[in-house]
Amino acid sequence: MKYTIAVIPGDGIGPEVTNQAKKALDAIAEYYDHIFIYKEAQMGACAIESTGVPLPKETIEICKSADAILFGAIGDPKYDNSPEAKIRPEQGLLSIRKELGLYCNIRPVKVYDKLIKNSPLKRSVIEGTDIVIYRELTGGVYFGDRSLSEDKKTAYDGCSYSVDEISKVAHLAFKEAQLRKKVVTLVDKANVLETSRLWRKTVTEIAKEYKDVELRYQYLDNAVMQLLLDPKQYDVILSANLFGDILSEEASVIGGSIGLLASTSIGEKYALFEPIHGSFPQAKGKDIANPLASILSAALLLDYLGLQEEADAIERAVEKSIVLGITTQDIKGENQYAAPTSKVGDFIADYITHQDDSNLNFRNIHMGQSTII
Ligand code: IPM
Ligand code: MN
């Protein structure tokens, strides 16, 4: 089959990790006989530099005409320390979410056995963790009115949610839970916030349509603690935009590195796939960033296109790279070689195109040290 994929490498390490995801997709195309046509587009600080805006119109057009979107990362230290800047790279990401109606962000969190020792948490606490976070993505305080008083001494960020906005993401979370362990935990701050009370009321109503799913409630302040004390209690976590952002980043500690977590952002018509990590400017161009989250985002993309077998092949290759220790510095074992970003990508691609090999010298062969099988 033939698919068009919009590719937005973005800023910082975005381009280098996205390149590895493309290698994995090219390998899939070769092995399974597909054609992927990549259409590159700009967003973020790089787009501000070349066009003056963080999200050029052309990028939106490219995304709308593609079958799916692969995105790298956004952000530049230049803007982090200038709160006065009116145009910011992150506006690009927020605008694309809004313009494409990507109201639901899905972030799976799982633990790879080999990496349990990389987590600061105990094996007994995290082993077997399997959570998926459903984060509302186009509402709440991220999209409320903002202002700064004339004397610049008071700032305001408004937060609003409608029943409709809450319902759309809640239905998706319940449907997902039906395919999993059938538990949805709604994380909110209903003891304080009016918006959270609307979330509770709305989600409680919706739960009646999913009788096989148990709905649990947790306050955010408790949840951030529970997530590290007993992550296995969760199946599907449902939360508002800002809370889901915080929870998912915290959850990356469980698996040992934020460089492992991929995400899907979906709406009625479009879907965008991205690692949850940021642009990691300190690592830019050094070939040291972990590309696995981006590669796993490509797997989620294939799954969305209905290419389940192909998505599984990428996941198996990622698992193999972890088991063999062909991984970047953030997840390498003690006294173990830290593979460059590009080598991890080469290994994954090679493993996909040579899935049927049972060569004992696998590690060397797939590191590109020999190509004769
Ligand atoms: C994320 C990021 C973004 C967010 C930033 C870059 C605007 O942290 O995708 O989680 O806060 O949503
Ligand atoms: Mn975030």
Q: What is the DSSP string of 233-266?
A: G-SEEEE-HHHHHHHHHHHHHHHT-GGG-EEEEE
Rg over CA atoms, the chain: 21
Please state, in angstroms and as integers, the Cα–Cα distance from residue 275 to each residue in 172, 178, 371, following that order.
21, 25, 30
> What would the DSSP string read from start to end of 260-307?
G-EEEEE-SS-EEEEESS---GGGTTSS-S--HHHHHHHHHHHHHTT-
Say if ligand 1 is within 6 A of residue 93 CB. Answer: yes
How many other CB atoms are there within 10 angstroms of residue 211's CB atom?
A: 7
Please state, in angstroms and as integers, the Cα–Cα distance from residue 248 to each residue in 25, 139, 190, 245, following that order.
26, 17, 20, 6
User: Pick from 305, 248, 326, 281: which is nearest to 70 by CA?
Assistant: 305
| All CATH 3.40.718.10 domain ranges in the chain, comma separated | 1-103+267-373, 107-260
Q: Domain 1-103+267-373 is of which CATH architecture?
A: 3-Layer(aba) Sandwich (3.40)
Ligand nearest to the CA of 246: 2
* Euclidean distance between CA atoms 79 and 9, whole angstroms: 18
CATH class of the region 107-260: alpha beta
pLDDT truncated to tens, each residue of the chain (373 aa)?
999 999 999 999 999 999 999 999 999 999 999 999 999 999 999 999 999 999 999 999 999 999 999 999 999 999 988 888 889 999 999 999 999 999 999 999 999 999 998 899 999 999 999 999 999 999 999 999 999 999 999 999 999 999 999 999 999 999 999 999 999 999 999 999 999 999 999 999 999 999 999 999 999 999 999 999 999 999 999 999 999 999 999 999 998 889 999 999 999 999 999 999 999 999 999 999 999 999 999 999 999 999 999 999 999 999 999 999 999 999 988 888 899 999 999 999 999 999 887 654 566 655 655 443 3
Taking the centre of ligand 1 as the mean of its atom positions, its distance from the CA of residue 327, in whole angstroms, is 25
Say if ligand 1 is within 6 A of residue 90 CB. Answer: yes
Taking the centre of ligand 1 as the mean of its atom positions, its distance from the CA of residue 186, in whole angstroms, is 20
Q: Which atom of ligand 1 is nearest to the CA of 245?
A: 10
How much is the pTM?
0.94
Ligand nearest to the CA of 75: 1
Say if ligand 1 is within 6 A of residue 74 CB. Answer: yes
For the chain, what's the residue count? 373
Say if ligand 1 is within 6 A of residue 245 CB. Answer: yes
Taking the centre of ligand 1 as the mean of its atom positions, its distance from the CA of residue 264, in whole angstroms, is 13
Residue of 135, 242, 245 best suited for mutating to test ligand 1, as the one with most atoms within 8 Å of CB: 245
Q: Hey, CA dihedral for 227, 231, 234, 235, is it positive or negative?
A: positive
